[in-house]
């Protein structure tokens, strides 16, 4: 996260935006809170330290089961250090949240971000596999459409 913040330090928050899905949504929240930029959150993780605590130790990569890595308990503390309370400026946030998310609870996601612009999907899934139907809303929020 230090590298991300250092790499974007010279960027104007007025013209900067971040997009993150799942754990990336958690990270995008941190970047937006620190920099003051806009953030688009796609099924954002709310409490990754809690949710990932049972995965410490050696794991295999989801994309390639032959690839192994170690998820250290210290990483949980690093995640906790990035947690924020209620977002400072809800108007800087837009979320696409799917009620059909099979990994994260949509109610917890929406409760975490009161007052933000929200597109709540009745179905879909954690990966928002119908994302192409929502990209225009993302672009419009970021001022790119």
Per-residue pLDDT of the chain (145 residues; tens, 9 = 90+): 999 999 999 999 999 999 999 999 999 999 999 999 999 999 999 999 999 999 999 999 988 999 999 999 999 999 999 999 999 999 999 999 999 999 999 999 999 999 999 999 999 999 999 999 999 999 999 998 6
Cα angle 86, 89, 95 (rounded to 5 degrees) comes to: 80
Residue 15 φ/ψ, nearest 5 degrees: -115, 10
Inter-CA distances, 67 with 4, 6, 24, 61, 99, Å? 25, 30, 21, 5, 32
Give the tokens for residue 41.
């959150």
Structure tokens at 81: 């250090």
Q: How far apart are CA 80 and CA 55, in angstroms?
A: 16
Question: What tokens appear for 136 in the block?
Answer: 């225009």
Distance, in Å, from the CA atom of 28 to the CA atom of 88, rounded to the nearest integer, reads 14
Q: Report the DSSP pairing between strands 93-98 and 38-42.
A: parallel
Q: Where is 70: in which H helix or E strand? A: strand 68-71
Q: What is the pLDDT of residues 105-127, one digit of tens each?
A: 999 999 999 999 999 999 999 99
Which domains does the chain possess?
13-47+83-145 (3.40.50.1820), 48-81 (no CATH)
């Amino acid at each position: 996260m230090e590298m991300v913040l250092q790499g974007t330090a010279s960027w104007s928050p007025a013209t900067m935006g971040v997009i993150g899905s799942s754990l990336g949504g958690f990270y995008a929240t941190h970047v937006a809170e620190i920099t003051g930029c806009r953030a688009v959150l796609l099924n954002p993780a709310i409490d990754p330290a809690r949710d990932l605590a049972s995965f410490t130790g050696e794991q295999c990569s989801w994309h390639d089961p032959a690839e192994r890595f170690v998820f250290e308990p210290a990483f949980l503390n690093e995640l906790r250090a990035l947690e924020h309370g209620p977002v400072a400026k809800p108007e800087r946030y837009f979320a696409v949240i799917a009620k059909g998310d099979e990994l994260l609870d949509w109610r917890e996601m929406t409760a975490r971000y009161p007052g933000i612009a929200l597109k709540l999907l009745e179905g879909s899934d954690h990966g928002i596999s119908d994302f192409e139907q929502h990209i225009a809303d993302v672009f419009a929020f970021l001022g790119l459409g």
